[in-house]
Structure 1
């Protein structure tokens, strides 16, 4: 379980394909605190540490994870958002994040507005994920508040601190990002869908 508050940034140092899996080696400032079998969110994707050496550690991504995230876009020297799993008793400064990406979204526009930025994203509505005004959304592992919610589109406002301390500063129009929708909203959407299915039978 995560909170969507990014701890630090990592730099991808190696991507090695092994059958259908990817072995990804990352350099980070928290490597010396990591242990094998520990869960770390990488751009919102929960991956398990399998090796630690000097300032680098390695994680494995399986085929299903690769297909449902933007992992296939990752390249050596790319910067990734990192967050370790939350500890019991910590403040929940973001929102409840599972580290399970629901789908990939596309950056539609980036507008600078007097010291902050408005990012707009679109996504496939047929996967039945939803956003609501002032609700929570996780983008590349960052917990954010939704503004301007539409059927398959929403915007978020990014303050300078978040812009500089996450990989939002590297986003461009058409960048693919990992989206994890609010878990409560997903349950509501599922219940509503099931109710409609029963009513039509």
Structure 2
């Protein structure tokens, strides 16, 4: 599990594409690798990757066909910068929100505006994902835990403060760029519970009326 608080940015050192997926090597740059072991998880642009080999300055991971099809990895190139976060420890400070490293799909940047000391980014998602985006809720963009400040149908707005922009790859974003999106994991499970309840396969006690009464669903 991750928190969405980026520890460092790295660069893609090599990509070996195969019919069964790909193998990727990441130059970790300032990421502390002293406690990394084989089999550890490192979120790379929000994608949970398993370390299959490493040095004090890089790691190698395998990327499945599912990941290549579901995320931006299918279009990544050697030299490209990526956000990095090691899996959190039970003793770690929980600074962001619950991030699984399982990307749900792609969001496209449609507008970038400087406002005061911050930047506002509007992003668009497929209709299949827009129901998971809630005002003042959390999303993960390329591994970064961010707050949704407003929603307009299939578009949503993020406000990026200078520190976040400087410490991540957000400063490189351009109009039309596609980024990895992970929705709040709680929304996934609530939806599944409601689906099963409607189908009569479970009785979780969770209902639309309960969620509405508790303020999780707006009238």
TM-score, normalised by the number of residues in structure 2: 0.85
Q: Which residue of 1 aligns with 2:217?
A: none
Give the one of 123, 126, 140 matched to 1:124: 126
Which segments of 5 or more consecutive residues in structure 1 lack a partner in the other structure? none
Task: State the number of aligned residues.
Answer: 198
Instruction: Assess if the C-alpha contact under 8 Å between 1:26 and 1:58 holds in 2.
Output: yes
Give the one of 130, 147, 157 matched to 2:159: 157
Q: Distance in 1 between matches of 2:4 and 2:187?
A: 16
TM-score, normalised by the number of residues in structure 1: 0.92
Moved more, 22-31 or 186-195: 186-195
The change in CA–CA distance for 1:197 and 1:117 in structure 2 (over 3 A counts) is farther
Written as runs of structure 1 = structure 2, the 5 A alignment for 1:52-91 is 52-91=54-93
Between 1 and 2, higher relative CO (CA 8 Å, sep ≥ 6) is seen in: 1
Q: Distance in 2 between matches of 1:182 and 1:6?
A: 17
Q: Which residue of 2 aligns with 1:168?
A: 170
Instruction: Assess if the C-alpha contact under 8 Å between 2:31 and 2:84 holds in 1.
Output: no
Q: Distance in 1 between matches of 2:108 and 2:70?
A: 14
Q: Distance in 2 between matches of 1:156 and 1:127?
A: 16
Q: Deviations over 1:87-136 (max 9, x none)?
A: 00222110000000011111111111112100111111125641111111
Q: Which residue of 1 aligns with 2:107?
A: 105
Q: Distance in 1 between matches of 2:93 and 2:22?
A: 33
Cα RMSD for the two superposed structures: 1.7
Question: Between Structure 1 and Structure 2, whose CA radius of gyration is higher?
Answer: 2
Which segments of 5 or more consecutive residues in structure 2 lack a partner in the other structure? 201-219
Q: Distance in 1 between matches of 2:130 and 2:191?
A: 7
CA displacement at 1:188 relative to structure 2: 2.3
